[in-house]
Amino acid sequence: MKATTFATAAASLLATASAHGGVGYYIMGGTTYQGWQPYNSADSQKSIQRQYASFNPLLIADLSTVAIRCNNAGTLGTGLTATVAAGSDIKAHWTQWTHRPASVMVYMAKCPSSGCNSWDGAGKVWFKINQQGLVSGTENSGKWAGDTILDTLNWTVTVPKTLVPGEYLIRHELLAVHQANNPQFYPECAQLTVTGSGTASPPASYLVSFPGAYSASDPGINFNIDSEQSKATTSYPIPGPAVWDGGSSGPAPSEPATPTSAAPVTAVPTTLKTSAAPAASSAAACTAAKFAQCGGIGYKGCTTCAAGTTCNKSGDYYSQCL
């Protein structure tokens, strides 16, 4: 689908949706692709984006349901896909957004060779290509990635340049944490055809399933932004797997993707745009501040605590400097 005008969609949205948000369109390869319009009739709608019902959030109770995958009950595609070259940018534009304390996470999943349209995204097939949570300041009052979405409605990611060509789903997710211990999840998925000459597939250690990727006890989900700890903590533990930057490769997924043996994990800085070949950071060479995370399953940051503090384990997934 080529560039379209959005005036009609915007008019109907104003009447029906007062808060929250969702990705409204995507720009890649010089083309704008209209997203699903949840407040318009589903009849005869076609989009690269999977159907979803509203801008309302999913909650902790939804983490174990298929809805957490693409914000629907496993609904399949409507026949459209967007073409994007590996190594180039995808800009997502939200129709609206309302929460500043929020993380952005972007995942992809390789579809079977039969294509994405009749595939629901089930299985341990999703890998994270980009994320940003707390940007600066404290969890309680600092700047978050959600500020960028609220202020610009835009988020641009780079498809890993080494990614093997094929059909993929891309899943943009906002995780809003403005309410104590009541996180809100806003995922939407779209269908892509990735071109290029890459040969890399993410190693199995980067792959997660939806549902399955998150647990209610993850520190970034069982999270109280109003706590005294959040008023003093300057890093936020984004849930889910480490970001895969394309710098490592595992076996190509079979049909459907099957778990494979773990491969070495490289630490990746969380930045607004993933670069094609970021240098691996050294976890040992840095120091975590008091109250910052210093360990836990999946954690790739600094493990040495600032002078006068020690790394205190508060669960398998989270240790902090106290």
Ligand X SMILES: *[C@@H]1O[C@H](CO)[C@@H](O)[C@H](O)[C@H]1NC(C)=O
Single out the residue of 1, 17, 27, 60 in contact with ligand X (rule: CB under 6 A). 27
- Residue 152 binding: pick among Cu ion, ligand X, none (C-beta 5-8 Å cut-off by kind): ligand X
Residue 20 is a binding residue for Cu ion (CB under 5 A):
yes
What distance, in Å, lies between the first and last C-alpha atoms of the chain? 54
222: left (phi over 0), alpha (psi -120 to 50) or beta: beta
CB under 5 to 8 A by kind: which of ligand X, Cu ion, none does 93 bind?
ligand X
Residue 291 three-state SS: coil
Nearer to ligand X, 91 or 143 (CB): 91
Query: Does 322 help bind ligand X (rule: CB under 6 A)?
Result: yes
Torsions phi, psi for 149 (to 5 deg): -65, -45
Structure tokens at 198: 């890459």
Q: Which helix (H) or strand (E) holds 278?
A: none
Nearer to Cu ion, 20 or 124 (CB): 20
DSSP annotation of 16 reads H
Binding of ligand X by 172 (CB under 6 A): no
Site string for ligand X, 294-313 (x = CB under 6 A): ------------------x-
Residue corresponding to tokens 């970001």: 243
Closer residue to ligand X, CB minimum distance, 79 or 315? 315
Residue 26 CB coordination number (10 Å): 24
Residue 290 Cβ vs ligand X, minimum distance, rounded to whole Å: 11
Nearer to ligand X, 155 or 210 (CB): 155
CA distance 115 to 10: 31
Return the bridge partners of 163, or none.
Answer: 200
HEC per residue, 26-94: EEECCEEEECCCCCCCCCCCCCCECCCCCCCCECHHHCCCCHHHHCCCCCCCCCCCEEEECCCEEEEEE
> Is residue 66 a contact residue for ligand X (CB under 6 A)?
no
10 binds ligand X (CB under 6 A): no
Residue 37 or 72 having the CB closest to ligand X? 37
Nearer to Cu ion by Cβ, of 59 and 322: the residue is 59
Residue from the set 20, 50, 93, 124 that interacts with ligand X by CB under 6 A: 93
Residue 252 interacting partner from ligand X, Cu ion, none (CB closer than 5 to 8 Å by kind): none
**Could you tell me which of 254, 268, 277, 257 has the C-alpha nearest to residue 299?**
268
Nearest distance, CB of residue 132 and Cu ion, angstroms: 19
CB 296 within 8 A of CB 314: no
State the nearest-atom distance from the C-beta of 309 to ligand X, in Å.
Answer: 8
100 sits near Cu ion (criterion: CB under 5 A): no
At its nearest, how many Å lie between Cu ion and the CB of residue 149? 12
The one among 4, 16, 118, 152 contacting ligand X by CB under 6 A: 152
CB of 159 to ligand X, least distance (A): 17
Instruction: Report the distance separating Cα 266 and Cα 138, nearest Å.
Output: 26
Give the CB-nearest residue to Cu ion: 20
Binding site for Cu ion (CB under 5 A): 19-20
Binding site for ligand X (CB under 6 A): 27, 91, 93, 152-154, 312, 314, 322
